[in-house]
A and B are shown apart, each in its own frame.
Chain A
């Protein structure tokens, strides 16, 4: 126990005193709340406010009422725009083509075909295009209702079926964009914050010629590995806790009321999130250590381990695309934590059995990797690679 305590203290001192690596890890954790705050504020502005949109309207003179209706929705003709606004919209060209017979067809009560032309694959145009479509549809619907009314027809005939939507989502799930981002950062944080410490304590120690001397001491290799694993995981847990705490504070500054959403992390949610994340931090660090010990140099270890963090980033995206998720995904490391944390952040209740199951599989996987590592450090192949 005395030996293990010495190993752990030495690893922790080294990790904390490597200021550059430690601060880089912590900045990563602190960056998440900042990014969540900034992107949320932008998303809310986009959803609630109606920034000016400038479009090229051909044939505007034939449809002054329509142009006026669009202007009320802050959609203006580029003809009257300032040079500054024109510059801003120069590479986001939207055209609305109004046919020359528009006025005559309107008078005759016929249907008119307008053309909306833009690069529909450009995501920065999706919001302006949606607003233009809505404005035109509203205007068209209003005209239709007036025409029917003038003919003395009950307007309810126009909508034989009406759908009333009742939102059953919990208040928290309405802040879906924050949940998704936080979830991603927590998973990513578990894998990235302990990375530099794991590489430094394995490949770094070997490159600094201290690993062989350490392996010559009267200490079982499992204690050496355990100290390294706990230290790297400890830094990852600090990163995850920091992300959670700072996100809670940062979200308090976002006016979610504007979109009718709320976001709060109750103490129970935080505890459950940490219960799910701590084993994941251990698992992530054991993966890092195993790969870093395999590498021939410190640089090679850094490159290999950095590539592996693509996995936790990829899994959430893959899960988002799966409509029918197989049950076993709930029990596997990373996917299990992701699915349970998703429900937790939405405010849904989760099965304690699911938490236990995924924790057990993650701990078992970590223990398996730990055992492989402890054996590898005893192997002649590892010893021969030291020189």
Chain B
């Protein structure tokens, strides 16, 4: 479970987050929705333990990420905003590398790597170096790296950006399976349709604050709109900075 309590972060004169609170439950996909610059990435970086909040706490399974970053990182799978890959390593070597960093070793590591490569249908590219891979193939590597240690929580920052229809469908299917398995998934995006189609609960963030939270239906009802996009615009109070 991921819990954010009264997070505040200021960079110079710019207030990136102010009093942001929300919860992402186990067995649910929680969408973190907000326009560009709303503070989504800053919030996620606090959950990763990369940034320290000026105030408030970011908790992963009850552990404070700023106080014990290494423990929280072992409990989350991270699908980063910009996923690059080590192009001189084969896919298996890359996944093995991150499995080792997550503390797996020996036969346990080997089994975990084989399992995740099989689950994501990557056997055909497993022994190839990732140089020249398509965006979809790179997405699979990033997902395999995030899931190899079977983390109870998965945090994804704009995961569908640049993906084609087939890769997006494959990702959705896999996320649905993880939800069924009881994982907590926090899904940051500014793509309305994506969030509406995938998430059980949506947390709308605007100007570093919580604008609203609830299911798609609850948010539409709250804004008195029938479409999530219209509800979103109404709830954040402006359509400035909203990307399609």
List chain A positions with a Cβ less than 8 A from chain B.
2-3, 5-7, 9-10, 13-14, 17-18, 208-210, 212-213, 215-220, 380, 383-384, 387
Give complex CA distance A208, B142 in Å: 13
Residues on B with C-beta less than 8 A from A216 are: 48-50, 73, 78, 80
Number of inter-chain CB pairs below 8 Å: 79
Closest beta carbon of chain A to B76's beta carbon, Å = 8
Supposing A17-B88, A387-B81 touch, asked if A6 and B100 sit within 8 A by C-beta, the answer is yes
Give complex CA distance A10, B102 in Å: 15
Contact among A10, A210, A218, A380 for B84, CB-based, below 8 A: A210
Contact across chains for B103 and A2 when beta carbons are under 8 A apart:
yes
Q: B48, B51, B74, B100 — which one has the most chain A CB atoms within 10 A of its CB?
A: B100
Q: A17, A217, A220 — which one has the most chain B CB atoms within 10 A of its CB?
A: A217
Give complex CA distance A242, B82 in Å: 40
User: When A and B form their complex, which 10 residue pairs have the shortest distance between CB atoms, in order from nearest?
Assistant: A209-B84, A6-B100, A209-B82, A17-B88, A218-B73, A210-B84, A218-B74, A208-B84, A217-B101, A218-B70
In chain B, positions 31-74 with a C-beta closer than 8 Å to chain A are 41, 45, 48-52, 69-71, 73-74
Closest beta carbon of chain B to A383's beta carbon, Å = 5
Contact across chains for A217 and B105 when beta carbons are under 8 A apart:
no
Contact across chains for A212 and B101 when beta carbons are under 8 A apart:
no
Contact across chains for B84 and A14 when beta carbons are under 8 A apart:
no
Q: B91-118 vs A: 1/0 string, CB under 8 Å?
A: 0010011101111010000000000000
Residues on B with C-beta less than 8 A from A218 are: 69-71, 73-74, 101-103
Closest beta carbon of chain B to A201's beta carbon, Å = 11
Supposing A213-B145, A217-B98, A219-B101 touch, asked if A380 and B82 sit within 8 A by C-beta, the answer is no
Contact among B69, B86, B100 for A14, CB-based, below 8 A: B86
Name the CB-closest residue of B to A213.
B80
Supposing A2-B103, A218-B73, A220-B70 touch, asked if A213 and B50 sit within 8 A by C-beta, the answer is no
Closest beta carbon of chain A to B144's beta carbon, Å = 12
List chain B positions with a Cβ less than 8 A from chain A.
11, 41, 45, 48-52, 69-71, 73-74, 78, 80-89, 93, 96-98, 100-103, 105, 142, 145
Name the CB-closest residue of B to A1.
B105
Known: A10-B97, A212-B82. 17 other contacts (CB 8 A): A2-B100, A3-B100, A3-B101, A14-B89, A208-B86, A209-B80, A213-B84, A213-B142, A216-B50, A217-B73, A217-B98, A218-B71, A218-B73, A218-B74, A218-B101, A219-B70, A380-B50
Closest beta carbon of chain A to B23's beta carbon, Å = 21
Contact across chains for B101 and A383 when beta carbons are under 8 A apart:
no
Residues on B with C-beta less than 8 A from A210 are: 84-86
- 13 contacting pairs across A/B (C-beta < 8 A): A2-B100, A6-B97, A208-B87, A210-B84, A210-B86, A212-B50, A213-B145, A216-B49, A216-B78, A218-B69, A218-B74, A218-B103, A387-B41
Closest beta carbon of chain A to B188's beta carbon, Å = 13
Contact across chains for A380 and B103 when beta carbons are under 8 A apart:
no
Contact across chains for B52 and A13 when beta carbons are under 8 A apart:
no
Contact across chains for B102 and A217 when beta carbons are under 8 A apart:
yes
Closest beta carbon of chain B to A296's beta carbon, Å = 16
Residues on A with C-beta less than 8 A from B41 are: 387
Closest beta carbon of chain A to B2's beta carbon, Å = 15
Give complex CA distance A380, B142 in Å: 24
Closest beta carbon of chain A to B78's beta carbon, Å = 5
Give complex CA distance A380, B133 in Å: 32
Closest beta carbon of chain A to B238's beta carbon, Å = 24
